[in-house]
Amino acid sequence: MALKAGIVGLPNVGKSTLFNAVSNSAKAQASNYRFCTIEPNVGLVDVPDTRLNKLAELVIPDRIVPTQIEIVDIAGLVKGASKGEGLGNKFLGNIREVDAIIHVIRCFEDENVLRDEGAINPVADKEIIDTELQLKDLESIEKKIPKTEKGAKTDAKLKAELEVLLRCKAHLEQGRSIRELGLSKEEKVAVADLFLLTDKPVLYVANVDEGSMHTGNKFSEALTAAVQNENAQVIIMNNSIEAQIAEMDNEDDKALFMDEYKMTEPALDRLIRSAYKLLNLYTYFTAGVQEVRAWTIHEGWKAPQAAGVIHTDFEKGFIKAEVIGYDDYVQYKTEAAAREAGKLRIEGKEYIVKDGDVMHFRFNV
């Protein structure tokens, strides 16, 4: 169940360099000219999880299988994209298909890297993207309002839907994104068919120079201040260095390289974990001698839904789930010891799976 996170931003901010770093299965062209990326590059990215490694140390399986998210590198956007400028329509169509947005913003000065927007200004860059997405959402909502108005005169459900549409319209006209509006789950149903671009959760990547990797700089600070009301996270990193780390196959070389830059882990690991969390995803584990594996579910899913991620038959024929909390598994070191200590629970169809649960399903087809 790999959900999609799309990497977006203005041309030449480091999107494709970041994609190259995070993706082990594809390489995006990274060049110093506009619209280098035309068709979106797609790669499946392993989600770093120390819990998976710890379980593998205890079980010693034949293989270890991490969970993944799908990263999409989308063409650079320019002012006027909502009206079809540049690759606007293609860009907006591609971003509509992702579940979350990783917005890369240039926070470094380098006269050798092309820039048409003038002096470095991360807040203005962010607003260019925001404005184009807001204009496209406004267009979608304005198209739906007349149709809804007709039925709202006699249909209470459509009347409530119209009220949501009008609120969204007013909010967008103020230059605000829908995710800041705080729509309830019920209210979101009214606009679900529009797949609104500004309702998607966003993670900002401040692409800084080498000297600012650990502390940030005036540009990343300005960006952080600008997004504080969005409840959004800002990841500070140097995309070029992350790409160099990702290219290293030898773990000792990688460790020496990171030590040189005083890094305890690649910033990419933080980025991937943050993107995973941004999508409100949980991980549960299955642990056996054949494999120790991480599985992705949504927060709040019940045991049968979680079982269905492995195979639809597991959900259809679900009987019960054997569950050991991750901490208990680590403490007692084996399933048998956890069972003997009374830490293995039998849960039914209404059990809400917790992040980190180690599970085994009983089913009948």
Encode pLDDT of 240-260 as tens digits.
999 899 889 899 999 999 999
Name the DSSP class of 229: G
Alpha carbon distance 110, 100 (integer Å): 29
Sign of CA dihedral 325, 331, 336, 341: negative
What is the chain's length? 365
Could you give the C-alpha distances from 308 to 1, 3, 311, in angstroms and in order?
Answer: 10, 16, 5
In this structure, of 111-115, 118-122, 283-287, 336-340, the range with the lowest mean pLDDT score is: 111-115
Residue 327: HSE in the Cβ half-sphere, 13 Å Cα cutoff: 2
Q: Which residue has the tokens 């990263």?
A: 71
Domains and CATH numbers, the chain: 4-49+64-116+201-278 (3.40.50.300), 130-198 (1.10.150.300), 300-363 (3.10.20.30)
Structure-block tokens of residue 60: 């010693």
Residue 120, both tokens: 């470095």
- Give the 3-state secondary structure of 170-214: HHHHCCCCHHHCCCCHHHHHHHHHHCCHHHCCEEEEEEECHHHCC
Would the pLDDT of 202 be above 50? yes
Q: What is the pLDDT of residue 77?
A: 61
Helix (H, G, I), strand (E, B) or coil at 70: strand
Q: Is the dihedral of CA 102, 105, 108, 112 positive or negative?
A: positive
**What pLDDT is stored for residue 132 in this prediction?**
86
What proportion of the chain, given as a percentage, has pLDDT over 70?
88
Residue 322: per-residue pLDDT: 98
| pLDDT tier for residue 25 given thresholds of 50, 70 and 90 | very low
CB 36 within 8 A of CB 30: yes
Confidence of residue 90 (pLDDT cuts 50, 70, 90): low
d(CA 137, CA 260): 46
Over the stretch 27-85, which tens digit does the pLDDT of each residue have?
Answer: 433 333 333 434 557 878 889 999 999 999 999 999 999 998 888 888 666 555 445 54
pTM: 0.83
Amino acid making up residue 229? N
Contact 21, 102 (CB under 8 A): no
pLDDT in tens, 331-364: 999 999 999 999 999 999 999 999 999 999 999 9
pLDDT reading at 297 higher than 60: yes
The helix/strand/coil state of 4 is strand
Helix (H, G, I), strand (E, B) or coil at 40: coil
Are the C-beta atoms of residues 297 and 276 closer than 8 Å to each other?
Answer: no
The chain-wide mean pLDDT, for the chain, equals: 88
Query: What pLDDT is attached to residue 116?
Result: 67
When pLDDT is cut at 50, 70 and 90, the band that residue 1 belongs to is: low
Q: Which residues contact 333 (CB under 8 A, 6 or more apart)?
A: 58
Q: Report, as an integer, the average pLDDT of 109-133.
A: 83
Alpha carbon separation from 128 to 79, 132, 172, 243 (Å, rounded): 6, 6, 14, 27
The reported pLDDT for the residue numbered 80 is 57
Alpha-carbon span 92 to 78, nearest angstrom: 11
Neighbours of 48 (CB within 10 A): 17
Half-sphere exposure of 192 (CA within 13 A, CB side): 7
Distance CA 112, CA 219 (A): 18
Q: What are the DSSP calls for 291-360, one per residue?
A: EEEEEEEETT-BHHHHHHHH-HHHHHTEEEEEEE-HHHHHHH-SHHHHHHTT-EEEE-TTPBPPTT-EEE
Residue 100 has a pLDDT of 92
**Does pLDDT of 86 surpass 70?**
no
Q: What is the pLDDT of residues 128-181, one digit of tens each?
A: 989 988 998 999 999 999 999 999 989 999 999 999 999 999 999 999 999 989
CA-to-CA distance for 336 and 356, rounded, in angstroms?
18
At residue 355, φ and ψ (nearest 5 deg) are -60, 125
Classify burial at 31, counting beta carbons within 10 Å of its beta carbon; exposed 0-12, middle 13-18, buried 19 or more. Answer: exposed
Q: How far apart are CA 289 and CA 283, in angstroms?
A: 20
The binding site for ATP consists of 12-17
Which residues carry a binding-site annotation?
12-17
pLDDT for residue 37: 39
Q: State the pLDDT at residue 229.
A: 81
